[in-house]
Structure 1
């Protein structure tokens, strides 16, 4: 009986192991595999690979095991069947009819997906409940669909691993994770690069043929479902096997040999994909162009005075212990402001504040995610390949903006209206000496409105004032970094604040409400004793969109930034090209701070400042200098674009929009400058040289 019930697993498992073996053999003979293998090495690779595949299949078959364990006829008996059907029907009606149900808080297609899933579940359960004579046929159809999905995933994964190896010479890594994030671009690339119709036709034909074969061999197992005792036996066996797999697979991933190709061929792509997803790293030194390490560091450090990683910053004026409030605004493109040509008047307050501030008119975000912006403002270093340092394991005890303020006796806090465990912010900021104020610190009466991302920005503004008043009473200066949340899908906010309804879910509404909340914050701040002794830094974390005609469209990385302090910072426009990582070193310079720095950003008012910017995705690393954009990418690819300014009707300091013209013969000095910056940063991070 036990053997009969695991027949579907045996057939699927054998198919998976055979296909994985074929893929390994193909990798051995692939032109990209330049290593030589002895017979014993081949035997070892295939044996280790087989063990890897067995344990991976055990884990991957979890859903199938759950599917079989939940098969039952008793759940359709009275009254349980009617109770379950009623609950499913009520849940479906709740999603369909309730305007502000829990799924709609997530925005996007979540509600539609939930409605389809629950609707199908309700329909199928109802059919099997009210048509018991058709139950076997319906169950067989569902079983066939389940099998076909498993077979399709096995075949599709094998094909994907081949093409990934064909391009990068490795199994899945963070680039594969990146491909999931940039779905549109990846699909477009596939459509243009491969014979999609024949390829997918072949995948579907193989999937259908294998599914029909396994279905015919195993469908009779559904005629007599296992009883409770048999299910317990199956469950116990599976739990033990899963436990062994979870123990052994990580150990096998750590096994390394001198032959890199042997490691890649014997491994399994799925655990490597999971590792890449959870560790968020892409090894610069394996995938990107390099020059001599000492020369790279010399090139990069030449911009500093003295030219060293750890260097003393000495001011020629007395230090000023002014409070500093850094406000990083969610998804705020420069194009939302009237200064940059917007005619919708959706940021009237910020536009007016800009005229009273030191405004950086030609500044670029380092990335297209919040964690990249927070990284740039907190660590002041160029972006690196893979995910932001905030989301990595080794993210603590770094040299940060907060650590400089803390060394000067400041209270240092990170303020966030949501739950700061999101995007690993709590782990990062707490691990670097910041106190954290987030949604957990709000009393119910302090929240007028909240969505999935957190409390409304106006509620955070009120909370921030309370926090700052308490800090001011302590007699210590304070540095508070407030990250806003309201300008984020689903763009919901309290009614009656602005002339766009709070449930319109429009980007313009999110922007205008954020502007409204900032105005409220400053109106409250002006009434406080600490206001005139405070420097306010307002900057976007990244733009609203980074999609464009090239890998890194310059215009999509341009963000607004300003420093405001009545009677201290004189209003002016700083028009030179600069990076997000330069903002906080510049603010520290305005305060005449003396400190030992490891920041890789620069004070833009120092004579040694070199005008440049860093812009990046998870894998394309861009360096902007002298009207050129140099991009280094995995597999040691290098591209360079000439940036040709477009004509426009804006003032010259704001009319900085570019056409990117690809160059056949890149400027090698700028290529080396780009490599030097990213290679050196990656090296220092890898060897913990950017720690405090």
Structure 2
């Protein structure tokens, strides 16, 4: 039987398949040991984890084998062992072993960062090779890793040569009949997998770690490549679209927000905040979006390591939102939530999609009040499509550009952070102090125009490799996350210290919020605690300082700011004024690129891309989820929010040009 499946000419194929399956098994066992405390450890769960994992490994290696199988079948027997055959065979085997080792090694670094197999993040990273490879080089001893990998590849090939596998391949006289017979099982596996197998079939357990262990990295990578944008209506539970809009708009109407076109499928409306006893105010607004700042880092929210003294002090001098949740797990998802004030849609963020310019963002509200708008980023805003998104939605760009141009149709100014303005820089951009110094410099210029400004500032220092200028804090650069958090906090303190000396300070409001948490990994479908982030509004002239414990979402912060400034405005934003939320209004929207969650009253409803919907009781003390019977009203509300958000994007409902009709 083995000789029919692997005749002499197929010897290298047999070697490669055994090699691949063995390495994949070792990786799976390593991840199991690494995350053993999080995995369901009963025998049946572990057996199923490895059985499903082996199935995905077998499918993956079958796909990898097909090009070589086609070559073996089509290459004439009389040319076996020729120079051409040897060149193709040696190179192909070398490439297969190299790619496999590279993939398996890469999985360890990816698991360390995300506690997941490859997903759409890995796909995105292939696009931005400069930042990613520079980050890897700064985070790991890259020459040692590459050297070790090449030694492993060379050693593997040498061992295969010594075993005589190449000799048997080159001297084989296997007929085309036997080759076709040997190819058939692998072709059948590929055909079946193509039409009947999906990556989400590995999600058989309630424990996310068991699901991730069941997957194969390469298979997950290509699946993510195909599915980086998911059509909500095709993959998720839906209700009639008009009913979904009615549900969403009924909530707005309850808050006396009146729709301009109540008969249309839209949410464009007017918000009335103006109080006759107070005048509208138009301060400058500087928004600092902090990279990866989890709520758990702040002493105010329970941390005992004193790594955020500045933010902890500001929490007592601001409107501080202690129960606020990010919508997603990546910077672009945070940017989407903050600027569009929209629930997360399946797949990649709108920031990275097509048709993401000339949308109704918070920038339009500022524009209607006479503001100039700026986006600051310490790296090259080409990364993650940020410049196209912000530039295409009316923001002027200030970044550390390397020459990548915006789409020519986008009309915006672009200011570079020059070399003499940089004191420290790593893969992701200049240090936080440098970006803040640029903000101060541009604010001085804007102040002279007499026109109020809104700055969206994206920081980068709290990101692996966690490097920053030495001597600023008592934790050495590059030693870990705590140091990066403490430096991030230090830089904010220095920025505000300088800002207080400026003539524009007393007329400037500072909004500080994280883009997402430092980690989203957990054992559950959605790990609720890992969406909890800090947010505050500082230096408001007409509001007392207060700690706001209401459950709310990232999408609500700017609608709340507009309310505190006493603005009436037209809006297409989902967010609500947190200060006026009643207990029944409190909710948060969280998600990753496949799972969409609706958090309310310590319960979370999670929608999945296999038309699944699960309701859980969330225990905030231990972060566990306990499954509950479905609540039809919560289900309808959850579906309505996500279905409407997706519909608006795909049908032009976010476009400025369509809102005027």
TM-score calculated relative to the size of structure 2: 0.68
TM-aligned CA deviation for residue 468 of structure 1: 0.9
**Structure-to-structure mapping, 1:404-483, within 5 angstroms:** 404-440=365-401, 441-483=416-458
SS across alignment from 1:325 = strand
Q: Give the Cα separation in 1 of the matches to 2:630 and 2:606.
A: 11
Q: Give the Cα separation in 1 of the matches to 2:212 and 2:342.
A: 33
SS across alignment from 1:546 = coil
**Structure-to-structure mapping, 1:487-566, within 5 angstroms:** 487-504=462-479, 506-565=480-539
**Structure-to-structure mapping, 1:108-507, within 5 angstroms:** 113-119=145-151, 162=192, 166=196, 188-189=210-211, 277=225, 280-305=228-253, 306=257, 308=259, 309-317=267-275, 318-440=279-401, 441-504=416-479, 506-507=480-481
Alignment CA distance shift 1:112-1:556 (3 Å):
farther
Alignment CA distance shift 1:479-1:191 (3 Å):
closer
SS across alignment from 2:233 = helix
TM-aligned CA deviation for residue 302 of structure 1: 1.2
Alignment CA distance shift 1:297-1:111 (3 Å):
farther
Q: Give the Cα separation in 2 of the matches to 1:674 and 1:389.
A: 20
TM-aligned CA deviation for residue 279 of structure 1: 7.6
- Specify the alignment match of 1:219 in structure 2: none
Q: Give the Cα separation in 2 of the matches to 1:405 and 1:450.
A: 32
Question: Are 1:676 and 2:634 counterparts?
Answer: no
TM-aligned CA deviation for residue 143 of structure 1: 12
Moved more, 110-119 or 378-387: 110-119
- Give yes or no for contact 2:274–2:280 (8 Å, CA) kept in 1: no
Alignment CA distance shift 1:680-1:516 (3 Å):
same
Alignment CA distance shift 1:607-1:191 (3 Å):
closer
- Give yes or no for contact 2:375–2:395 (8 Å, CA) kept in 1: yes
Q: Give the Cα separation in 1 of the matches to 2:282 and 2:538.
A: 16
Runs (5+) with no aligned partner, structure 2: 1-8, 14-62, 72-83, 92-132, 170-181, 260-266, 402-415, 657-661
Q: Give the Cα separation in 1 of the matches to 2:352 and 2:446.
A: 29
Alignment CA distance shift 1:67-1:419 (3 Å):
farther
- Give yes or no for contact 1:448–1:459 (8 Å, CA) kept in 2: yes
How many residue pairs get aligned? The number is: 506
TM-aligned CA deviation for residue 314 of structure 1: 2.3
SS across alignment from 2:533 = coil
- Give yes or no for contact 1:105–1:490 (8 Å, CA) kept in 2: no
Q: Give the Cα separation in 2 of the matches to 1:143 and 1:400.
A: 65
TM-aligned CA deviation for residue 556 of structure 1: 1.3
Q: Give the Cα separation in 1 of the matches to 2:515 and 2:593.
A: 16
SS across alignment from 1:605 = helix
- Give yes or no for contact 2:208–2:524 (8 Å, CA) kept in 1: no
Q: Give the Cα separation in 1 of the matches to 2:475 and 2:497.
A: 22
Q: Give the Cα separation in 2 of the matches to 1:154 and 1:524.
A: 72
Q: Give the Cα separation in 2 of the matches to 1:527 and 1:275.
A: 53
Q: Give the Cα separation in 2 of the matches to 1:302 and 1:471.
A: 41
SS across alignment from 1:515 = helix
Larger Cα-atom Rg: 1
What RMSD over aligned residues (CA atoms) do the two structures have, in Å? 4.2
- Specify the alignment match of 1:662 in structure 2: 627
- Give yes or no for contact 2:135–2:464 (8 Å, CA) kept in 1: no
TM-aligned CA deviation for residue 642 of structure 1: 1.7
- Give yes or no for contact 1:642–1:661 (8 Å, CA) kept in 2: yes
SS across alignment from 1:560 = strand
Q: Give the Cα separation in 1 of the matches to 2:304 and 2:603.
A: 30
- Specify the alignment match of 1:584 in structure 2: 558
SS across alignment from 1:538 = strand
Runs (5+) with no aligned partner, structure 1: 1-7, 13-52, 73-100, 128-133, 145-151, 201-268, 647-656
